[in-house]
């Protein structure tokens, strides 16, 4: 079956712009989580959605937001981009919340802010 699909794979944006990243989970998975990965900070939890509701949110500013649609697809948005937002953004899906069967990660979107 198809894995977790993230689009686009690469993005280059200018400081101050906004960006929207998309994630399609494995068919049947209802939980989608987002992570930011950087060499300095590692994997940091952004938020988790389950059945269109945000269940948890990490320690990120309000510029980072997300949503989940009725088909479980999810988007995350970053407004007023800063240079420090350059990172690999990973999406992961799970059958149930809290990843009770483990999470399957997508290949990520590499965002570069210039």
Please choose, out of 8-16, 65-73, 74-82, 101-109, the segment that lies near another protein by the rule CB under 8 A: 101-109
Rounded distance between C-alpha atoms, residue 26 and residue 23, angstroms: 10
Binding mask 47-86 for another protein (x = CB under 8 A): xx------xxxx----------------------------
Q: Closest Cα partner for 11 from 99, 92, 81?
A: 81
Is 73 within 8 Å of 21 (Cβ atoms)? no
Q: How far is the CB of 10 from another protein (least distance, A)?
A: 13
Q: How far is the CB of 28 from another protein (least distance, A)?
A: 16
- Write down the H helix ranges in 51-107: none
Q: Which is nearer to another protein, 14 or 40 (CB)?
A: 40
Rounded distance between C-alpha atoms, residue 93 and residue 105, angstroms: 7
The residues binding another protein (CB under 8 A) are: 33, 35, 42-45, 47-48, 55-58, 90, 92, 98-108
């Amino acid at each position: 079956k198809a894995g977790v699909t993230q689009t686009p794979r690469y993005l280059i944006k200018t400081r101050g712009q906004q960006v929207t990243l998309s994630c399609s989970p494995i068919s049947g998975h209802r939980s989608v989580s987002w992570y930011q990965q950087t060499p300095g900070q590692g994997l940091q939890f952004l938020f988790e959605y389950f059945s269109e509701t945000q269940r948890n949110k990490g320690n990120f500013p309000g510029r980072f937001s997300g949503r989940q649609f009725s088909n479980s697809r999810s988007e995350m948005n970053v407004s007023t981009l800063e240079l420090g937002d350059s990172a690999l953004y990973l999406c992961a899906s799970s059958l149930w919340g809290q990843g009770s069967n483990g999470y399957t990660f997508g290949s990520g979107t590499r965002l570069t802010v210039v």
